Structure 1
C-alpha cells in the first residue's frame, strides 16, 4: 500500500503579519486624524492671559461699582474691629482662605500734605492714634482693589502669577483713571470724601487704595 505524504502549507513569516497590522493601524489613525491649519490651531489654543485687557474690562465697569456698593463708613468699621475683629471681618470684609480681610470703605476728612506716595486724611470719630492715608502713587501697592471687589477669585486664573498680575492691572487702571487727573497738592487742608479699599494689617494704620476722591 502506497501512502501519500501530506502537502505542507507555506507559512507566512511573522514579520509580514506584524508589518501588515502596523500598516492597517496607520491607515486607521490617518483616517481619524483631524488636520488643522496654523490659524485653526492658534484659534483653538487657550487664550493667554492679558493683564492690561483684564484691567480695562473690569476696573471701571465692575470693580469700582462693587467697591462703592459694599463701602462701609470707616468710623463704623474701625469701631467694629476694635470690639471684635473676626466678627467685623465676617460682616464687612472679604477674603479667600485664611488670609487677612479686605474692606471697602468710605469717609470724609481733611487732607494733609502728601508724602512718599501717601495722602494723609484726618477723619473724625476714629480711635485715638489711627492713621489714615490714601495711596496716590506713582507706585500703587497691594491687592485691595482685586480682593474687595468680591467676585475675583484665584480659581479664575491659571496660576499665582496671573492672579497677582490681575491685581496690578487694576491698580494701573485706577492710577490712569483717577490719580493722573487728581491735583493732590491742591487738596492740602481741604475737606475731601473718598471711597476705596484696604487690607487689614492693623486697625491703627489704614492705607486705602481709592477708587473715588472728591
Structure 2
C-alpha cells in the first residue's frame, strides 16, 4: 500500500540527471583548453619579428649608424690623390683597382680619392673641378645634388659586402642611405654657386668607368679662404 504525501499545488518532482558520460568529460576538457589558450595568447603585430627572424632592414638607421662612425674615417684613411689614381687607371685599370680600390664580386672598382682644384660653374647636379696636374681631356666632377647617383661610398670602403644583407634590394638601399647622409651632412649647408672660381679641396669616393671621366661623391668639400 502506497501512502500519498500531500504536495503544494503546481509542484512536480525534479528531473533526474543522467550519469556524467565520457563524452561530456571530453567536452568540458576541450572548453577548458580553449579558454587557457585564449587567455595565454599575446598579440604580436605583423611588424614584430618572430623568434629566429632578423628585424626588418631600416636604411635610415643603417645610414646614421654607418656613415660618420665608419664610412667617413675609412674614406679619409684610404683616399689617394686623384692625379695618381687617374694615371694608374689610364695605364692599367685592373692593376689600379687591385692596388688602390675595392669591389664586391666582379663589378667595377671603386676608389677613395682626394683632389684639389678650381671649381667651375655648378650644372646639372655636378660641380666641375679643374685639377691643374690633369690633362684638359680629363673631366673631374663632384656630385652636389639634389640627386646623388651610384654606390661609390658603399663600395669604396671595402667592408660593406652583399652577404651582409638579405637581398639585393637591401644592398642597394644601404648605398642610397649613405648617399642620403652626404646630402644631409655635406650638401645641405653648401652653396655651390659661391664656390665658382675658388680653390676647393674634396675628399670622397668614385667608381670610374674610364680614366677620362671621374665623378666624385664627396664626404667633404672645403673652399680656400
Fold shared per TM-score above 0.5: yes
Distance in structure 1 (CA, Å) of the matches to 2:131 and 2:149: 22
Rg larger in structure: 2
Q: In the alignment, is the contact (CA less than 8 A) between 1:49 and 1:162 conserved in 2?
A: yes
Question: 1:145 maps to what in 2?
Answer: 153
Give how far 1:128 is off.
3.9
Question: 1:18 maps to what in 2?
Answer: none
1:101 aligns with 2:109: yes
Q: How many residues align?
A: 180
Give how far 1:86 is off.
1.2
More helix by share: 1
Structure 2 residue runs without a partner (length 5+):
1-39
Structure 1 residue runs without a partner (length 5+):
1-34
String of CA shifts for 1:107-161, please: whole Å, max 9, x gaps. Answer: 1000000000000000021134000000000000000010011110000000000
Distance in structure 2 (CA, Å) of the matches to 1:159 and 1:78: 33
Superposition pairs for residues 106-125 of structure 1, below 5 Å? 106-125=114-133
Question: 1:63 maps to what in 2?
Answer: 71
Q: Which moved more, 1:172-181 or 1:120-129?
A: 120-129
Question: 2:209 maps to what in 1?
Answer: 201
String of CA shifts for 1:67-109, please: whole Å, max 9, x gaps. Answer: 1100000001111112222111100010112110001000100
